[in-house]
Structure 1
Amino acid sequence: MVLGGGFIYISLEVLIAVGCCLGNVLVMWAVWRSGALNQTTFCLIVSLAMADFLVGAVAVPLAVVVDVHVMIPFHACLFFSCVLIVPLQASVLTLLAIAVDRYLRVCIPFRYKTTVTKKRSWIIAALCWILASILGFLPMFGWYNHDTLTHYNSTSIDCEFIAVIPTSYLVHFIYQGCFLPPLAVMITLYCYIFFKIRRQSRGRAGVAAETGAYTQKEHKLASSLALVLALFVVCWLPIHLIQAITYYNQNIHVPSIVLYFGILLSHANSMVNPVVYAFKIPKIKQEYRKIWRKVIGRQQQADINTTASNTTESCDVHVRISPQVGVDDII
């Protein structure tokens, strides 16, 4: 990468990493403060926020390390590259679990609370992470670029993601096997959810206001989570398409700026989700406001205390520099 372009890329990655960490910590804090962790959907939202947080705290720094081409042992480079894949897999699986959760909420509303409990939701979230780790670390068990070791003829290599992770793994397994099928299932589920909610709304036109409010609430939450899914696809699809195009037609040269734009866009997805939660999910939005008011209130109180302290010191100084003035003169 050109020196100037490299500096811009790394600077943007640092900004994205900071945004991912701060935004998703705020999401987890807001969910915990609101008591929404007792609801199964928010357990999965916290799991997704954790995946987004790890993108900023772990994946982006490792991506920058890999990008500067440091000389490290082959298997250390392979391990770092595998770590970059795990948050993606965790996000896909968690989004799929959220879609299934919303599907069950709409299709079996009366049995939902007994079927999808808080304990089961955390178990599902844990299984998503375990499966994501297995899928992400598959290259460590032999599915890596053996030619790289032969080329360098040494234990240390110029570390680069594509040098250790084969494109066949990224295209056939990650993109075609672990990205597109879950995406098709999620789109189908959300289409059915919206169809079901719309049909319920029409069928309950003259029913009690509570039922209409419940349907509207479910529709808003489903819309918010569908938006999260849509942004995930928009941010991750370009880099997958770039990898697929270069794999199936090696004569096509993709400019470096396009490749790095795709990488930045995929990482930026983890920074965007907290903004969506802030505007679209009422419980998280309310907690954001409470946290903001609390921070502003403390700042205002600190300013008041500072002003009062300065005023007191000013009065003390005035009395000290006028020792000849009597009590009657001061009054």
Structure 2
Amino acid sequence: MNNQLLHSFDPLLPYQNTEDAKSFLQASYRSIALPNAEEAAYTNCPRFLYSLEHGTTFLSQSSHSPLAIQPVLIFYGLSHYIKACLLAVDPAYPATVHVLAHGLSTRKRKKQNYSFLKDEVRTQRHGLFSHFSDKMFHVKQLEGSKLNMNDLLAQIPELNQIFSFQTGEAPFHSLKKEENGCYRVTAQILDDYQMTQNRLSDFLSQKTNGSVAVEGAHENGLLIRISGERPAAPCRFNARNGQWMLSRRKTAEAFYPEILIYYALLYNLSMIARYETEWWYDLLKHAPGKEFSLIKQFLHISHHKIPLVIEQYLNERGS
């Protein structure tokens, strides 16, 4: 498949007709034992369809827009996709006005010598971020928790090469698939996590509810066993080279679903693009530091990766 065809491909199109959308919602509601699954699916079907379509419209428009406004368009595209996903697990969404806010906060004014990579956003008790984290992924957000931009960007596998070039240390190890279905990773991962093989296996198993664990040693590496069709974080798929990768960091962000990471990064970038235009345009016009390459590549990745991540979530709900 050539690049032009790949970029025009819409992975969410199968869900964007009334018959299939209604069937998908009904199956999802039955899986959570909703008593009136058929009625709820009928009621929510238009909102589900329109949320997907609106998200696609924002994403499509962003790819043809100047870089300066892309963060705003991509952020709202992702937000509408998330609202469609929420309807599959929370039929009453939005039940209150509390879930309509962004759910994150950032500094209103940037300090002198501001660095995006050192910047942070804070989680709030109410809002979309905490709501979809809980409802879609069962991740409970602590109010006031800080999310660092560099740590979040280091969890985007497609940025692995840029981080390696800039810092000399890649944040991910590649996973090589073996004939027995396991994945091989370099033994360096033990030093990265500062754990023995048994401790690493227990740690990964606990963090991923048993879906990722160390099977044993293999030549100069370890064999990682993955249960289910898709690896769970800290394993992530690099759409750029078609490889599964394992995060070398054991921070909380390493175990976040990618949708949370994209939302937090795009929220902050969209706020900067709207309210910190002097810093933003200085970055875009002069590319003074390492941040420019990371941010530009991240936005480029977002155009293509977000629909794939949303498709993965919906497919797993419908399976």
TM-score by length of 2: 0.35
Q: Which of 1 and 2 has greater Rg?
A: 1
Instruction: Name whichever structure is richer in helix by fraction.
Output: 1
TM-score, length-scaled by structure 1: 0.34
- Greater percentage in strand: 2
